[in-house]
């Protein structure tokens, strides 16, 4: 983080962009989602901005997810599909290398809120 931004965070956290604000039309709590991403260890296979993890990634970086048109090569990119994918990748692609991690609906919604904000 840049020194000026740190300084602004102390004074005006919301204005300096330190408190995540969901993207328009997106449900869920991105801050809680960021914590959930680490609890399920998604960062062990994906590069996720501001979540320290592995340096050898199996899955694609999730840094530019909000700009993608298609998820996992098959799904239209929207929040509902992102939640479906996170909860059960094999339901969409039985050959996917991403495991079903038993993510609850609430956690998946919050994770998607964080990922779509990036
Ligand atoms: C064991 C490694 C592994 C773990 C753990 C993992 N993933 Fe994945 N993930 C993958 C792989 C591999 C793909 C590509 C799968 C495909 O296209 O079939 C993928 C694809 C994705 C995609 C679609 C990305 C794109 O480029 O379209 C999203 C979103 C995603 N993962 C989110 C998550 C989240 C959230 C978690 C934590 C709940 C998670 N992943 C945990 C391996 C993993």
Average pLDDT across each block of 10 residues of the chain; the chain has 118 residues. List them in order. Answer: 48 54 84 96 93 83 91 94 97 95 98 94
Distance 13 CA to ligand 1 centre (A): 31
- First-to-last alpha carbon distance for the chain, in angstroms, is 16
Sign of the alpha-carbon dihedral angle for 70, 73, 75, 78: negative
Is the beta carbon of 81 within 6 A of some atom in ligand 1?
Answer: no
Residues 46, 53 contacting (CB under 8 angstroms): yes
Is the beta carbon of 97 within 6 A of some atom in ligand 1?
Answer: yes
E strand or H helix that includes residue 25: none
Question: What architecture does CATH give domain 27-117?
Answer: Orthogonal Bundle (1.10)
Residues 22, 117 contacting (CB under 8 angstroms): yes
Is the beta carbon of 83 within 6 A of some atom in ligand 1?
Answer: no
Distance 98 CA to ligand 1 centre (A): 5
Please report the pLDDT score of residue 6 as a whole number.
Answer: 44
Residue 36 CA: nearest ligand 1 atom is 38
Domain parsing of the chain, residue ranges: 27-117
Please report the pLDDT score of residue 111 as a whole number.
Answer: 97
The separation between CA 101 and the C-alpha centre of its own chain, rounded to angstroms, equals 15
Q: Where do we find the tokens 């929040």?
A: 79
């Amino acid at each position: 983080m840049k020194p000026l931004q740190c300084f602004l965070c102390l004074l005006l956290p919301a204005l300096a962009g330190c408190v995540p604000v969901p993207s328009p039309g997106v449900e869920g709590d991105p801050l809680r989602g960021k914590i959930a991403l680490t609890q399920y260890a998604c960062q062990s296979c994906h590069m996720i901005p501001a979540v320290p993890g592995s340096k050898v990634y199996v899955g694609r970086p999730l840094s530019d997810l909000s700009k993608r048109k298609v998820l996992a090569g098959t799904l239209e990119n929207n929040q509902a599909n992102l939640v479906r994918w996170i909860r059960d990748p094999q339901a969409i692609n039985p050959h996917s290398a991403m495991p079903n991690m038993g993510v609850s609906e609430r956690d998946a919604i919050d994770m998607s809120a964080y990922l779509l904000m990036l």
